[in-house]
Structure 1
Amino acid sequence: MSTRPIATAAMLAIGDELLSGRTKDKNIGQLADVLFLAGIDLKEVRIVGDDEEAIVEALNALRSRCTYVFTSGGIGPTHDDITADAISKAFGVPCLHDPLAMQLLGAMYEKRGVEFNDARKRMARMPEGAVHIENAVSTAPGFNIGNVYVMAGVPQVFTAMLSTVVKTLEGGVPMLSRSVASPFGEGDIGSALAEIQKNHPQTSIGSYPRFSENRFSTEIVIRSREDAPAEAAERDIMAMIAEIAASKAAS
């Protein structure tokens, strides 16, 4: 069995537009997929509005108990993009116009023939001591401070930043996954499946109901960092399904 430590993560998605439903978040699933492959357990996701105190409170709670925290949204040019200020407040450092970010953005806007005005300069603000996260799509960088990685909310930009960040993270042993198709609904398998989970603590067993042709079935997913525990749980699940089938056939 591997002795590598398990890295954990949380996500903080920021923006009133997420809570109002005007914007449908796509970044949570993208982050979950990338972290799964890196062997990092995504433990929690929170969504907060454009409220500095709410952001600070959520960030401090998450960063105190997870290896990594990823944020999305709120680092644009408008008045309600307050993520940089909130992160700075959470870490107790000033929020400043970063010289390199100012240089990168200034050159980009000059090349485009667009005025580098005060609103656009807001995208160069970050906590003192933060390190850039490259933005290969639209230039304006994200930033990293402590165990917190602050990225844009636009999915294309978030994905580009994340692809840069994940290369720098110390992950763990990737989680293995096995899937078993059960022809029975959760009401039939629930109690027996709970007992199997209890008997196989090195696995995480999830059940996902399906409804087709007027009947329920279930996809059972077994996750583990080692093959042997997953195989043992799978054998017990297959035996459970066979037993339920025999019982129904006899009744």
Structure 2
Amino acid sequence: MASVRAAVIVIGDEVLSGRTHDKNLPYIAETLSAIGIGLGEARIIPDDPAVIVRTVREMSAGFDYVFTTGGIGPTHDDITADCVAEAFGVPIGENAEARRRLEVHYADTGLELNAARLRMARIPEGAELIDNPVSAAPGFRIGNVHVMAGVPRIMQAMLSGILPTLKGGAPLLSISVRSPLQEGKAAESLGKLAQAMPDLSFGSYPAWTSTAFQLTIVVRGSDPTRLEAGAAAVESLIRDLGEVPERLGDS
């Protein structure tokens, strides 16, 4: 659908264990979609150096942009920066500007800038810093990989600063149509519609409310005229199968 494609790597044992519920992936997907960058793949991986290095290399080679979250804090298991440096074959060390930002921040807060906190100034050689207006410790960009914090508020601030540097395509738009149509009854006709309109995507999402079954079909595309044609075709499909469509709105 989108000519510019991105991937997200969510790093952290705490996410895989269920202890932490990831909130970053949907936020990144929606934010990128709005500027015409389609999210093509997302992976949740452990704090395992070999896995992180392999995943960064694979996704960097396969996508226009890669965004990682997690693993750049002050503790022993925050190993993302080291792994990204290894993935790109560059050394890692204390970055003078990153240290300066931490020194200013901790002087203002009255907290000690100890050895653990100074780990957050370790940046791969050649990387550009990503601003962190929330807690100062920067992320960084190297090649097409953007390394961000896992804390949602900090990640969102970092992503906001990154956005002006990204080159997207036409924003991906969507129209949702809901009905009580059974998914199995709609499947064949919806498949034919998707084949007939390959420039659009058609998603089928069943749900059960407290009182009834509902099927929402979401049409996505970057051309408003074609998107409207696709939504109208879905509405016609629903009527032909004996139900009444309800358009939920455009986005």
TM normalised by structure 1 equals 0.93
Q: 2:204 aligns with which of 195, 204, 207?
A: 207
Shift of 1:213: 5.0
Return the letter of the residue paired with 2:204.
Answer: S
Q: Please state whether the residue corresponding to 2:62 is helix, strand or coil.
A: coil
Residue of structure 1 equivalent to 2:86: 89
Residue of structure 2 equivalent to 1:50: 47
Shift of 1:153: 0.3
1:131 and 2:123 correspond: no
The residue correspondences of 1:1-251 to structure 2 (distance < 5 A) are 6-213=3-210, 215-245=212-242
Q: Please state whether the residue corresponding to 1:177 is helix, strand or coil.
A: strand
Question: Considering only aligned residues, what root-mean-square deviation do their CA atoms show, in Å?
Answer: 1.3
Return the letter of the residue paired with 2:226.
Answer: P
Higher deviation after alignment, 176-185 or 22-31: 176-185
Shift of 1:117: 1.4
Unpaired runs of 5+ in structure 1?
247-251
Structure 1 vs Structure 2: percent identity of aligned residues?
Answer: 47
Unpaired runs of 5+ in structure 2?
244-251
1:154-181 deviation digits (Å, cap 9, x = unpaired): 0000000000001110011001211112
Shift of 1:107: 2.2
Higher deviation after alignment, 179-188 or 133-142: 179-188
Return the letter of the residue paired with 2:203.
Answer: G
Shift of 1:240: 1.4
How far apart, CA to CA, are the structure 2 residues paired with 1:199 and 1:107?
A: 59
CA spacing shift, 1:110–1:181, aligned 2, 3 Å: same
How far apart, CA to CA, are the structure 2 residues paired with 1:33 and 1:47?
A: 18
Residue of structure 2 equivalent to 1:249: none
Q: Please state whether the residue corresponding to 1:64 is helix, strand or coil.
A: helix
Shift of 1:227: 2.2
Return the letter of the residue paired with 1:239.
Answer: S
TM normalised by structure 2 equals 0.93
Q: Number of residue pairs matched?
A: 242
Shift of 1:115: 2.1
8 Å contact 1:186–1:217 — kept in the other structure?
A: no
Shift of 1:214: 5.2
1:130-158 deviation digits (Å, cap 9, x = unpaired): 10100000000000000000000000000
